[in-house]
Amino acid sequence: MSALLTATCAVPAAGAVLTAALPAGSTEARRSTTKAVALGVSAVTLALAAAVAAQFDPHGDRYQLTESYSWIRSFGITFSLGVDGIGAVLALLTAVLVPIVMLASWHDADPGPAAPAAPATPDAPDGTFENRRRTQGFFALILAVEAMVVVAFYATDIFVFYVFFEAMLIPMYFLIGGFGDRAGGPESARQRSYAAVKFLLYNLLGGLVMLAAVIGLYVIAQDQGFATFDLPTLSSAIADGKLQFSGTASKALFLGFFFAFAVKAPLWPLHTWLPNAMGEATAGTAVLITAVVDKVGTFAMLRFCLGLFPDASKTFAPAILVLSVIGIIYGALLAVGQKDIKRLVAYASISHFGFIIMGIFALTSQGQSGATLYMVNHGISTAAWMLVAGFLISRRGSRLIADYGGVQKVAPVLAGTFLVGSLATLSLPGLAPFVSEFLVLVGTFTRYPAIGIVATFGIVLAALYALLLYQRTMTGPVKAEVTGMPDLKVRELAVVAPLVALTILLGVYPKPITDIVNPAVNATLSQVHRTDPAPAHPVAATSGGEQK
């Protein structure tokens, strides 16, 4: 039994403990040591996740590199790991983004200026104590999030998945509330606290509903001789008819799981925590939220909702598609009207997640393949867009769009990379999100043409909010406040360059990703007993072999 999956999960977990245990201090040398250790741990994790993806055989078993360790025997709970194509790709995405986020956040935990009303204390006579941020804690929390997300992508025991699905909320809560954006003004501390609490309460509510569904699933399975939380065992028993649910039980359990995943995703109308969380978090933490943590929700819809409750999935698919389309249009419309750069990106992400969920529940191979590819492409392109926006905000000290203008004349490289992120967000052909969005729309249109037609308006609105943001911040006369703004530095270029390269590469050659994920997509469709709709106008062949 290989221990590669365990190692990929354990390295960032151990790195988080090590980083947190490093000697505290306010000197630059100690902070640099902490950052270097954390970055090194993330690099090792990336190498391990890449090894997992490289060893995965798309033509092999559904779950590979499996590991299982006894945990709570009386309830049939084991620490079981196994990777399918979708999990392998999303874990690799996580491992790619974390070191990039660390580099982008290199100074986010450095001591900042005193708050305007910060009182003097014996420990901080100049009133700066409240704005000192513990570097060890910040980078340890990032590694903790990485470890828990990777476990969620690899877990094949439902209880283990639930534990880490909930546990990742804790480090995210502290990253949002304790290490938030400094550009929020005097009220930023209060706003960060509100955003962190709202994030935690929404997701805890979803988790509690899921816990009830997990318990219900176990009770029903135990009554039929399957006292286990092992996903492959339960999925196989359901597919073979050995484990059966009544119609009411199947729908109730499906809704319990789906509710938790829809909150995490986030799906309209359960999305309202996201703009607050992304707006008040640092740019790096915002990337962790939308490009990493939220992907666990859409991934779980594929793995658990469709795998365990195929009949209920088909029953609720039309309603979920309607919610997805509402999310696409609603998120895009609110993005158009935003005055805050980071909240605009947040509402744009809500629109993009609508496309992902729509592709999943279209229940076609093109839709689900596009949705999985969209998870990857959205993670990369939104990370590029948000991180460059973070560099912009850190220079000016404001998140308001109206405070910018003419940046491309004083910082052309920053403006150029911001343009690439904007064009990727509107799914320009040749950039990564275009392929995935096209597959989602094609897959949806073949089964639900009306839904597909309405969803295309989201593309038009995406062009509107992305280009308006670029126009208002980067073009026009140079505002006095941005005169002398420095262009991207070497560290910042090291952050942006791989993201731009991946955006272009996957835009012209997505085959390496689709080859890995397509077998898992086909297996999921077979679980829900769905095949792609036959063409409405099949092409017939003449006797001479020509088509007509």
DSSP secondary structure string for all residues of 387-423:
HHHHHHHHHHT--BGGG---HHHH-HHHHHHHHHHHH
Q: What confidence tens digit (pLDDT) does each residue in 309-360 have?
A: 988 988 999 999 999 999 999 999 999 989 999 999 999 999 999 999 999 9
pLDDT number for residue 324 = 95
Cα distance between the two ends of the chain = 55
3-class SS at 544?
coil
**Which residue's entry shows tokens 């629109």?**
351
Average pLDDT (62-68) is 89
pLDDT band at 1 (very low <50, low <70, confident <90, very high): low
pLDDT number for residue 136 = 86
pLDDT over 60 (residue 464): yes
What percentage of the chain exceeds 90 in pLDDT? 55
Average pLDDT (120-133) is 42
Tokens standing for 541? 């062949």
* Dist. CA 404–CA 474, nearest whole Å: 7
pLDDT over 80 (residue 480): yes
Tokens standing for 425? 């967000």
pLDDT band at 130 (very low <50, low <70, confident <90, very high): very low
* Dist. CA 268–CA 4, nearest whole Å: 37
Would you kindly state where each structural domain of the chain is located, as residue ranges? 1-113+133-308, 310-532
Tokens standing for 349? 């992400």
Mean pLDDT taken over the chain: 87
Average pLDDT (47-66) is 91
Cα-Cα-Cα-Cα torsion 187, 192, 193, 197, nearest 10 degrees, comes to 140
pLDDT number for residue 172 = 93
Round the CA-based radius of gyration of the chain to a whole number and report it.
23
- Among 131-140, 394-403, 412-421, the range of highest mean pLDDT: 412-421
Average pLDDT (197-202) is 92
Residue 115 DSSP one-character state: P
